[in-house]
Amino acid sequence: MHVDPAILPFLLGAAFIAAAALYASVGHGGASAYLAVMGLVGMAPAEMKPIALFLNIAVSAVALGNFVRAGHFKATLFWPLAAASVPAAFLGGWLQSPEPVFKLILAAALVVGAWRLLAAPPESGKPVRLAGWPALLGIGGGIGFLSGLVGIGGGIFLTPLLVIFRWAPAKVAAAISAAFIAANSCSGLSGFILKGGQIPAMAWGLLPCVLVGGWLGSRWGSGRAPVPALRRTLAAVLVVAAAKFVII
């Protein structure tokens, strides 16, 4: 899709504010939406990954702050996931992007996850299952590697797993995912930079937009947002993320 260079910054700014607000409401950074938008307007793939990771760090950090202040963060769930995901995300960020067929498989998995969220019964407000460390380490490592490989933070995979497996209520899952995304995005971006990559200047121009959107979305998600609304929002986020894998 051809876009006039004169209006491109305004178009991206508006789209990124909306994407950041939507994603931050469920503890996500929005990388998959940023990648989809940049792909649609024809930006160079070499620029897209570092921009998405950089903005992901900013938005997930803002979201984490709001969810922590609201009392939703559970460190016992986060640390095993992060311990495995951070080195795996670094490795993924070092490697090349996967083949299109692999991305289509990821898209299909996200659509199934969205359907499971919408079809699941209402939660009681407390996790009914305990997640063992081996499971958390395995899931953290697998999601971390995928995150670095495709240039996202991994929340689109982690949050639905935490909710569907009933390891955490929706708002706790959002808080865990925000911390997970920030850690993975930092690791993935570090791998990219150490390989010789640079953060494009456009990322700094888009930073204020995503910070505004991220603050607004996470304030709503961590506060008065009802759980059914968060589930529907998360399902919408998964569908947008799936579209990203089809577009790019």
pTM (two decimals)? 0.83
**End-to-end distance of the chain based on CA atoms, in angstroms?**
13
| Residues sharing a CB contact under 8 Å with residue 75, sequence separation 6 or more, in sequence order | none
Per-residue pLDDT tens for 191-237? 788 878 889 898 999 999 999 999 999 999 998 888 788 888 888 88
Say if 2 falls within a structural domain: no
Confidence of residue 96 (pLDDT cuts 50, 70, 90): low
- Number of folded domains that form the chain: 1
Amino acid at residue number 45: P
What is the pLDDT at residue 248? 65
Say if 28 falls within a structural domain: yes
Per-residue pLDDT tens for 55-66? 999 999 999 999
Tell me the C-alpha to C-alpha distance, in Å, between residue 157 and each of 73, 94, 154: 18, 20, 6
Cβ atoms 64, 25 nearer than 8 A: no
Amino acid at residue number 175: A
Say if 59 falls within a structural domain: yes
Q: What's the half-sphere exposure (Cβ side, CA atoms, 13 Å) at 21?
A: 11
- Structural domain boundaries, residue 94: 8-247
CA distance 186 to 29: 12
Say if 110 falls within a structural domain: yes
Say if 153 falls within a structural domain: yes
Say if 18 falls within a structural domain: yes
Say if 58 falls within a structural domain: yes
